[in-house]
A and B are shown apart, each in its own frame.
Chain A
Amino acid sequence: MISVDKLKILTDSAKFDVSCSSSGSSRKNTATGIGNGYYGGICHSFTEDGRCVSLLKILMTNICVYNCAYCNSRCSNDVPRAIASPNEICELTMEFYKRNYIEGLFLSSAVYKNADYTMELLLETVIKLRKLYNFNGYIHLKGIPGADRSLIMRAGEYVDRMSFNLELPSEKSLRLLAPQKTKKAIITPISMIHEEKATYTSKKNRFLPAGQTTQMIVGASPESDFQILKLTEALYKKYKMKRVYYSSYVPVNTTSSLLPTLPVGLLREHRLYQADWLVRFYGFNVGELIKEGENLPMEYDPKCWWALNHPELFPVEINTAPVEMLARIPGIGLRSAYKIISARRYSRLDLNSLRKMKIPLKRAIHFITFNGKFIGLESEKQIKQALIVNDLNSSYTQLTMFSNNEIIASVLNGEL
């Protein structure tokens, strides 16, 4: 069994890969196997930073030949190094899985010797896990950019999800901060996998059931939120990406003058995720939320900001508005919109009925009417003032932005 010290080194190096979900695969167990997929994903635990623990997230090794400026494992950095064998990883995964600590394995690696050699080691591990250990739970495998096509395609037959990190939101930044990783080396496998998955729907053997995701670091380079979101939108449209993750830049023992010395406030990352949600689930276009070269406002969430800039569309009548418009009301999310359209089939709704249904009204009252009656504030300026998120500490060290109750509420119930 793997040693505690080795586990610590390999976990420490993997934690900034923020992708954590175990969803998207309904893999079935076999007669003699252990494990299955659960389509919605299951959160087994939560760390003290509030993030969910779903998978065993480790590196095969943090011994790396690359020297990316933002990475703690870059070869010029003096940190303890370790490498695990495929068997060590398989054993650990099985023992954790059997005790219901995890949904499965998230396996990544630094570039050890070269891309192909590393990819072969990763492939050996996942094949062993499936075939020798009879494991049918979730596997998320990181791809090594630049590895041979055949290795990547083979991996797709054994794992549920793969990802290749974009790392940075523009080619220019990538060249500056991670010159050994080229845009071509990253995009080529993403494109390959997308094509392969599209052709696989008719065959019996499944290929990458939970699709692919990617990640980029936010705040390490000067791109605007507009640029980041446009890139995100394109990734969803062109490659049917399941999720794009944003990782707030946290300086890790860096000496590079190209990087900021202070960590990025979490609020920016939160706003980007809110915008990402609006694009994916609320039918917004990036162009509706933000203009070229701009950043998302910190004082308002993106949906609220959109509503304030479109006073001609409000107020909206609760009893007749289409569900898409209901979902665009500040404070009313998809769940509340659904509750409203379900309830109004039976009777006309008024202020009391909405209160009884526990629909958050503090912000929404300025944008809706009940049977023609309006009880919100009259002037735009007053509304803007009422909705602003107060007490925003603009200092860079304000990483715990969850001290503000409104933001907490929005994060907890997912409603915008």
Chain B
Amino acid sequence: MTTFIIENSYNGILSAIFYSYLNKIKPDNVVSFHHQIGFYEKFISVPTNIENANRVDSKLQSILSPLNYKYLINAVRSNNENKHFIIFNYVRRIIDAKRDISNNFSNEDIFLYNRLVSPIFLEAHRFLGFIRFQKTKDGIYYSAFKPDNDIAELILPHFIKRYKTMPFILHDLKHDKIIGYNDGRYKIVEEKMPKLEISNDDISKLFKKYYQTIYIPERKNLKQMLNYMPKRYHAFIVEKNELL
């Protein structure tokens, strides 16, 4: 049982790939530093080497379609605890095949990888709609949210285009990531958020009333609603949380 231990990043995985091909070692598992290691496992710590990672990266970029490449570089955003191994195996398959076989769904490694990546982008799309802003007394629009996957950077471009002239903050509470935007520029920080004063206008009250009123009781279907809008997101959705 050989386990590679890598940095939790895309470059970390590519470094492991390079190491694997160079030393002709096929690991039984690939995990990141803060994973639990079994007592009898033989582990090899693979440091991240940017040069080697870039070599693998350019090879992948030449094989994969632009869309599949985009999926790959964002695959580490997943919250799946086995993501490093799954992505590792997918990359191996691509390199061995020398062509883009990402659609070969009957292959187990590719299928698992697909199941890893799809939820990331599905969640990012959902959050385009689920993000709710509150207006602070300084006129900044602040949004706190807790996504399963690390999607803040994926949704940022959409909000920049939409709210060009409006300063806003996206605060991912689960991944401790804060993105601030103002006047054409943005910054990503991972510090603690200073306390913001939310201004007490009645807009959220109006929206709650609106949300209650458009509901047609004769068509009640909680199961369908929860399927589209899972309960774990409700805490930050103003019309679903009485405290907001």
**A interface vs B, CB < 8 Å?**
1-2, 4, 7-8, 11-12, 14-16, 29, 31-36, 38, 42-54, 56-57, 92, 95-96, 98-101, 137, 248, 250, 263, 266, 339, 342-343, 345-347, 349, 353, 356-357, 399-400, 402, 408, 411-412
Contact = CB atoms under 8 A, between A and B. Distances in A.
B206 A47 contact: no
26 contacts: A7-B210, A11-B214, A12-B213, A15-B213, A15-B215, A29-B162, A34-B166, A38-B128, A42-B128, A47-B214, A48-B221, A49-B225, A50-B219, A50-B225, A51-B216, A54-B129, A57-B214, A96-B210, A99-B203, A100-B131, A100-B133, A137-B162, A343-B103, A347-B104, A408-B224, A412-B227
Nearest to B107: A346
B162 A34 contact: yes
A36 B108 contact: no
A360 to B, nearest CB: 15
B106 A2 contact: no
B129 A356 contact: no
B65 interface: no
Interface residues of B, number: 58
Contacts of A347: 104, 106
Contacts of A353: 106
A36 B161 contact: yes
Contact of A98 (B130, B141, B239): B141
B207 A96 contact: yes
Of the listed residues B105, B218, B228, the one surrounded by the most CB atoms of chain A closer than 10 A to its CB is: B105
Contact of B228 (A2, A4, A43): A43
B202 interface: yes
Interface string B181-205: 0000000000000000000011111
A412 B224 contact: yes
Of the listed residues B141, B207, B222, B239, the one surrounded by the most CB atoms of chain A closer than 10 A to its CB is: B207
Q: Interface residues of B: mostly helix, strand, loop or mixed? A: helix
Given A345-B104, A349-B106, 19 more contacts: A7-B210, A7-B213, A14-B214, A34-B164, A35-B162, A42-B125, A43-B228, A49-B217, A49-B219, A50-B219, A54-B129, A95-B201, A99-B238, A100-B133, A263-B218, A343-B103, A347-B104, A357-B105, A399-B218
B175 interface: no
B130 A44 contact: yes
Contacts of B218: 250, 263, 399
B223 interface: yes
Q: Interface residues of A: mostly helix, strand, loop or mixed? A: loop
Given A35-B162, A49-B221, A343-B104, A99 B132 contact: yes
Interface in B169-185: none
A137 B106 CA distance: 42
Nearest to A52: B228
Nearest to A11: B213
A412 B224 CA distance: 8
Contacts of B210: 7, 11, 56, 96
Nearest to A43: B129
B135 A99 contact: yes
Contacts of B207: 96, 99, 101
B202 to A, nearest CB: 7
Nearest to B103: A342
A266 B164 contact: no
Contacts of B211: 45, 47, 53
B228 A46 contact: yes
Nearest to B239: A45
